[in-house]
């Protein structure tokens, strides 16, 4: 079963009156349980591709299917619901709410799904246990190390049981050893829970750990390496 599928997708922006084409016709399918890396230099269009795969944006032309569903006809509200249920995001800069406890940060996606508060707190604690932070439930993000913060973000991505986790340079703000720990965690989750992981990175050694590597350059898929 295909989790995410792009068929001949283009994306054009207008910036200061100038048209910029970020994607020129990309076709890509991410299967359920897959572990893939999207690799490319900055400006290659890999971030735009990730935003599209994560339903944060819509393609200019082409077809985008999330869990088999074409996003073209969906309203903003339907798109938000799809994002909430199907995709988990992990960002380079963690994106945690600074004044909110670890547990409430992790529970945030469930708020928008209408899950009752007690249930949210229980599931957030479970997700934090999965990433090895069950002893940090009531800490603020500022009281945690960078590696711990990224693990909180991973717990938040997992809490809603999405099919896919999209990780945008997840180790970009971490030292090598901590970064390795985060990668180990993502790989373990992929292996044990069967969640598809899509890494977006410009670091070859991070990408090298993935089973599949999709090289993007100038808005096109240059090479798709599978073992």
Partner 1 sequence: MRYGESFRVALDALRVNRLRSALTMFGVVVGVAAVVVLVAIGTGARDLVEREIEGLGSNIIFVAPGELSLGSAPSISRMQLEDVAYLGRVTGDESAIAVALNSGETVRAGRTQTFAGIVGANENLRNVFDRPLRRGRYLSRTDVETRRRVVVLGSDVARRLFGDVDPVGRQIAVAGGTRFRVVGVFAEVGQTFGQTRDGEVHVPVTTAQRMFGVTRVDFLAVRAPNSEAIPRLQKQVVDALQRKYRGERFSAITQTQLLGTIGTVLGALTGVLAAIAAISLLVGGVGVSNIMLVSVRERTREIGLRKALGARQRDILAQFLVEAVLLTSLGGVAGIVLGAGSALAISAASPVPAVITWWSPALAFGVSVAVGVFFGVVPARRAGRLDPVTALRAE
Contact characters 78-117, partner 1, x per CB under 8 A: --xx-xxx---x-x---x-x-xx-------xx-xxxx--x
CA 118, chain centre distance (Å): 26
CA distances to 15, 78, 91, 94, 135 from 155, in Å = 35, 24, 12, 11, 14
Nearest distance, CB of residue 104 and partner 1, angstroms = 9
Q: Which of residues 16-55 bind partner 1 (CB under 8 A)?
A: 51, 54
Contact characters 144-173, partner 1, x per CB under 8 A: ------------x---x-------------
The count of chain residues that interact with partner 1, using the rule CB under 8 A, is 26
Q: Which is nearer to partner 1, 65 or 95 (CB)?
A: 95
DSSP string, 22-43: EEEEEEEEEETT-EEEEE--TT
76 lies in the site for partner 1, by CB under 8 A: yes
The contact set with partner 1 (CB under 8 A) reads 51, 54, 56-57, 76-77, 80-81, 83-85, 89, 91, 95, 97, 99-100, 108-109, 111-114, 117, 156, 160
């Amino acid at each position: 079963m295909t989790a995410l599928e792009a068929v001949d997708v283009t994306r054009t922006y207008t910036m200061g009156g100038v048209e910029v084409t970020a994607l020129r016709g990309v076709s890509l399918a991410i299967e359920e349980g897959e572990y893939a890396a999207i690799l490319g230099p900055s400006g290659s269009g890999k971030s735009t591709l990730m935003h599209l795969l994560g339903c944060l944006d819509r393609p200019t032309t082409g077809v985008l299917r999330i869990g088999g569903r074409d996003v073209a006809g969906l309203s903003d509200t339907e798109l938000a619901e799809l994002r909430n249920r199907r995709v988990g995001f992990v960002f380079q800069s963690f994106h945690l709410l600074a004044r909110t406890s670890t547990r409430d940060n992790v529970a945030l996606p469930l708020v928008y799904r209408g899950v009752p508060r007690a249930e949210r707190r229980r599931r957030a604690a479970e997700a934090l246990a999965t990433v090895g932070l069950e002893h940090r439930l009531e800490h603020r993000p500022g009281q945690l190390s960078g590696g711990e913060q990224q693990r909180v973000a991973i717990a938040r991505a997992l809490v809603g049981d999405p099919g896919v986790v999209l990780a945008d340079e997840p180790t970009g703000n971490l030292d090598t050893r901590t970064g390795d720990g985060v990668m180990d965690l993502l790989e373990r989750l992929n292996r044990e829970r069967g969640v598809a992981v899509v890494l977006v990175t410009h670091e070859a050694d991070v990408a090298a750990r993935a089973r599949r590597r999709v090289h993007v350059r100038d808005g096109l898929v240059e090479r798709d390496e599978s073992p």
